[in-house]
Amino acid sequence: MTRQPISFFIHHQGRGHANRAMAIIRELPAERPVTVLCARPELFDGFDRPIDLVALPNMIGAPVPAPGLFAQPTPEVMHCVPLGVEKTRSTMRAIIDHLDDVDPALFVVDVSAEIAMLARIASVPAISLRMHGDRTDPGHLGAYQASVGLLAPFDRTLEQDDTPDWVQAATCYTGGLCTTLDAIPTREAARAKLGLDPTQEIIVVLTGGGGAGTPYAPLTMAARAVPDALWLVLGPTHREGHETDFGNLRELGWVSGVTDYIAAADVVIASAGDNTVHEIARVGRPYVCAPEWRYFSEQTRKAERLDALGAAVMLREWPGALAPWRSILDAAKALDPAALAALYDADAARNAAAYLEAMAVDLWAGSTRPAATSPASDAPPLMAVVS
């Protein structure tokens, strides 16, 4: 008997959700068909595992057509449900049509409280991905209740104290999931490869693509405060227009081989994005966590947990003076590296896939419904975009 598909809804903000999905999907059994629904299907270009790819309309930020509709309050059990938006209606229709067409064994939602609830209304078992943050509101709790299970791509010790017991009991904690697979060099080998001084103090500032970028002005203060160190900034920064550049502060933009730069660093300063945290933990470098603004205080709450575990020094605000920087770096170097390293699990993607596969089998045990046909195991990868 062929297996029913597992479908994934993947949020298109940044690359993290898509990269995580690909890491998990790669570990699913080859005979398990997979479909992915996403508003940016190009995020999956070149993916080396056969999938069907469904392109969704991009409804985020679509305009509301009338002031009277815009004035309607949002129900507290939902988060973002503007009225009269055609793209929202088209998105919901595309999802329902897909679920009806393929009759999936499981619908994995990463992330949307509304779509998890939509799946339950459509009589489809959903797994919701969990993220940190203030998520005890009716919308999140309703989505968790509507799901048949919850998946947390982080270690159990990173769980927040205010998470309800029933949410924790329903959660599969995969261990820290890092989507980067590059080999980890020694500090000396990394510096030699990158052409960096083997003895100079090097601070790597790692920014991401999910927000507006790290503010550049505080980094100029850091470069002045610790002038003997080389400050390397990877990724986008946000400038206000009054900054002065310094010779020991270099903006490298997007680079390949981020692992090499982390390995070369004496201290890494980075946000609290899921993959970022586990990328640093995987390499094992002193970590200053500078949370970026996110909905529901996601990164702030995660940074608080990292700080409480002694896995990172939380930067509650970017210093506006020179004096704090040296003590911040020294505090990070004084941390026990084992606390951060313990948060990474090389088997996290495999653990997630095993959980999803088991749920897809167990939920339907004894079912008499006809099975859908799956593509032949030797078929070429399917990247058919359905609009």
Residue 377: the pLDDT is 36
Q: In the block, which residue shows the tokens 């004035």?
A: 71
Residue 355: the pLDDT is 98
Query: In Å, what is the CA distance from 90 to each residue of 28, 56, 64, 96, 120?
Result: 30, 8, 14, 10, 19
Topology at the third CATH level for domain 187-341: Rossmann fold (3.40.50)
**Mean pLDDT to the nearest integer, 41-69:** 95
Share of the chain above pLDDT 90, in %: 88
For residues 13 and 217, which has the higher predicted lDDT (pLDDT)?
Answer: 217
**Mean pLDDT to the nearest integer, 131-147:** 98
Q: In the block, which residue shows the tokens 């339907």?
A: 364
Q: Which residues pair with 205 in a beta bridge?
A: 233, 269
Residues of the chain with CATH 3.40.50.2000: 6-177+345-386, 187-341
Please give the Cα distance from 203 to 211 (Å, whole number): 22
Q: What's the pLDDT tens digit per position in 87-99?
A: 999 999 999 999 9
pLDDT at 212 over 70: no
Q: In the block, which residue shows the tokens 């990247």?
A: 383
Q: What's the pLDDT tens digit per position in 279-294?
A: 999 999 999 999 999 9
Q: What's the pLDDT tens digit per position in 183-210?
A: 999 999 999 999 999 999 999 999 876 6
Q: What is the pTM of this model?
A: 0.92
* Among candidate residues 349, 346, 367, the one with its CA nearest the CA of residue 106: 367
**Superfamily of 6-177+345-386 according to CATH:** Glycogen Phosphorylase B; (3.40.50.2000)
Q: Following DSSP, what letter does each residue of 313-355 receive, concatenated?
A: EE-SS--SSSTHHHHHHHHHHTS-HHHHHTTB-TTHHHHHHHH
Residue 379: the pLDDT is 34
pLDDT at 376 over 60: no
pLDDT at 274 over 80: yes
* Exposure b/e, 103-139, CB count within 10 A at least 16 = b: ebbbbbbbbbbbbbbbbbeeebbbbbbbbbbebeeeb
Return the amino acid letter for 26: R
pLDDT at 337 over 90: yes
**Mean pLDDT to the nearest integer, 101-121:** 97
Mean predicted lDDT score pLDDT of the chain: 93
